[in-house]
Amino acid sequence: MPQPARAAGTSAARTVRRDLLAWRNAVFAIFLISGLSLATWMSRIPAVRDGLALSTAEVGLVIFGLSGGSVVGLLAAVALLARFGARRAMVLSVALSTSGLVTVGVGASLLASTGLVFAGLVLVGVGMGSLDVMMNVEGAAVERDVGKTLMPLMHAFFSFGTVIGALLGAGASYLGLPVFWHLAAISVIVLATAVVGVRSIPQRAELGDEPQGAAAAPAAAPTSSPAWRERLRASLSVWGDPKILLIGTIVLGMTFAEGSANDWLALAAVDGHGLSNTAAAIVFGVFVSAMTLGRIVGGPVLDRVGRVPVLRASALVGIVGLILFILAPSEWMLYAGAVLWGLGASLGFPVGMSAAADDRKNAAARVSAVAMIGYFAFLVGPPVLGLLGQAWGILNALYLVLALMVLAGLAAPAARERTYTP
């Protein structure tokens, strides 16, 4: 090969790799700011409660605005992607969530309006719910083009964002910073990061069609693709796909295990095992740390042994962890159970997102469907466990989580990697 041609080929390869890395880093950033946004609100819930003099029941009703908005966002994500494309749709979603945070700040600090806080949380939920689908679609696309499993690490970046948000919230609370100024400052940072970051996300002509490499041909003109309404109707057909429902079963079981720990692990340690509030908080911290560690190391493990063995092993580890936690006769076994529970639940959601997006046609709709099943676990799980715990004790209620993890392990083959032909 002549030297100039070889040099041109090397330069093109470097350009493609640089674009891929920029795309990957942009998705990392979107996951990070998503976690940061959520933790920013969560870290100031006590201040909002005190400022508005809300009862515990009223706080629950206000928070329902976030949950309800999230469901709307999940439903709207496919339509937004189809109508605007990934770049504009993601910025729109972030704009909705950040405007919601600012609205919450106004309602909490400036106008003392519970209704305004509720409305703001609805906007936060819509923005974050739709963004959740979009960033997982992008994550699945970029990990395919990079050729390495990246989704668990992307979800670890979400966890990093929640840690940063929690620390900043604690600092703002310690300094007595009003909720409005705290939420407004974070909103500016989050929106600016999104606007800059999406510039590295490649355009695509079709909803759910990923380019073959970050340097793929530019998006076709809008007139070259079917009407977005037709594509939207076609995307709804994924709910009739048995494989999507089985992947949803995996995500349901693992997400239920994660969400139940977030809401009930510390209380179960206190009420069920007699730990102090401080010790229970430490147990929860151990669980969260195990979750984050599992997502950091999960990518290389998945690349080495594959999704199905990892999901089966994760389910088994989680089941053992839950049994240890429920039946632990000593405190060290309780901590061991929390570690295994966290490790077992860590990879279900990100692997489910990757598996849902394997079929490049209607990838956004498939990811949206699986994400909705996962959010169902987050929304329904806490009250269900609360009712069961009230009737039979919180530790006994956790057997429901164990049963769902068994189902997740049995459904693991549905996540098997799909082989593409060039």
Residue 228 pLDDT? 54
**CB-count exposure of residue 68 (10 Å: 0-12, 13-18, 19+):** middle
The answer to the question of residue 275 being in a domain is yes
The answer to the question of residue 224 being in a domain is no
Q: Which two tokens stand for residue 405?
A: 């993890």
The answer to the question of residue 232 being in a domain is no
- Note whether 150 and 261 are same-domain residues: no
**Full domain range(s) for residue 277:** 237-415
The answer to the question of residue 212 being in a domain is no
- Note whether 191 and 279 are same-domain residues: no
Tell me what percent of the residues of the chain surpass a pLDDT of 70. Answer: 85
- Note whether 49 and 163 are same-domain residues: yes
Residue 235 pLDDT? 60
The answer to the question of residue 86 being in a domain is yes
The answer to the question of residue 377 being in a domain is yes
- CA angle 259-262-264, nearest 5°? 100
| DSSP secondary structure, 357-394, as one string | TSS-TTHHHHHHHHHHHHHHHHHHHHHHHHHHHHHH-H
Residue 224 pLDDT? 41
Name the CA dihedral angle for 20, 23, 24, 29, rounded to a multiple of 10 degrees.
160
Q: Which residues of the chain have pLDDT under 70?
A: 1-13, 56-57, 204-238, 263, 360-361, 364, 379, 382, 419-422
Residue 187 pLDDT? 97
The answer to the question of residue 32 being in a domain is yes
Looking up residue 336, the CATH number of its domain turns out to be 1.20.1250.20
Name which of 347, 339, 340, 254 is nearest 309 in CA terms: 347
State how far the Cα of 266 lies from the Cα of 248, in Å rounded to an integer: 27
- Note whether 99 and 159 are same-domain residues: yes
**CB-count exposure of residue 189 (10 Å: 0-12, 13-18, 19+):** middle
The answer to the question of residue 96 being in a domain is yes
Whether 123 and 70 have beta carbons less than 8 Å apart is answered as: no
- Note whether 176 and 42 are same-domain residues: yes
- Note whether 383 and 271 are same-domain residues: yes
Q: Could you give phi then psi for residue 243, rounded to 5 degrees?
A: -65, -40
Whether 307 and 351 have beta carbons less than 8 Å apart is answered as: yes
- Note whether 406 and 345 are same-domain residues: yes
Tally of domains in the chain: 2
